[in-house]
Amino acid sequence: MKVDKTVDTISKRLRSQNMSRIRSKNTAPEILVRSVLHRMGFRFRLHDKTLPGCPDIVLKRWKTVVLVNGCFWHRHKNCRYAYVPKTRIAFWNKKFAGNMKRDAENVKALKRLGWKVKIVWECELRNTAGLESRLHKLRL
Ligand SMILES: [Zn+2]
């Protein structure tokens, strides 16, 4: 049946996205963002495999996903944590390019599905007060 085939193709694609997922789950920064959001009264789902890139935090009511990005792996621009290791430079550059491409594709796909995408960088979590006011803007 044609419909079944389509469903299977979609699930295969999602599976491969999940396999290639660079984002590790339940990191300390992610847990911190979750607890701040929770305290602010937001309700959310975690690691939604049905969405592109399996986003960390999904606020369905606000049609918003929050991605908690590690500065190193996700290449935070002009951030001192996004350094390039001194050895195997070609290897790292290739890896980083792949990560950034995948991130961009996931954000694009999420937006196409009508989701707002908020990125919280690991280095921003050093100031929790700042974080709370930043997350408040999600309500807009
Ligand atoms: Zn950073």
pLDDT at 12 over 70: no
- Across 60-87, b (16+ Cβ under 10 Å) vs e yields eebebbbbbbbbbbbbbeeeeebeeeee
Half-sphere exposure of 56 (CA within 13 A, CB side): 25
Q: How many angstroms is it from 3 CA to the middle of ligand 1? A: 44
Q: According to the model, what pLDDT value does residue 1 have?
A: 43
In this predicted model, what pLDDT tens digit does every residue of 37-66 receive, in sequence order? 998 889 999 999 999 999 999 999 999 999
Mean pLDDT within 65-86? 94
Q: How many angstroms is it from 130 CA to the middle of ligand 1? A: 14
In this predicted model, what pLDDT tens digit does every residue of 16-26 receive, in sequence order? 444 445 667 88
Q: According to the model, what pLDDT value does residue 27 have?
A: 86
DSSP assignment, residue 74?
H
Q: How many angstroms is it from 20 CA to the middle of ligand 1? A: 23
Q: How many angstroms is it from 82 CA to the middle of ligand 1? A: 7
Q: According to the model, what pLDDT value does residue 139 have?
A: 59
Distance CA 49, CA 34 (A): 18
Q: How many angstroms is it from 54 CA to the middle of ligand 1? A: 21
pLDDT at 13 over 80: no
Q: How many angstroms is it from 120 CA to the middle of ligand 1? A: 9
**Dihedral angle of Cα 67, 128, 139, 35, to the nearest 10 degrees:** 70
Helix, strand, coil % in the chain, rounded to nearest 5? 55, 10, 30
In this predicted model, what pLDDT tens digit does every residue of 89-127 receive, in sequence order? 999 999 999 999 999 999 999 999 999 999 999 998 887
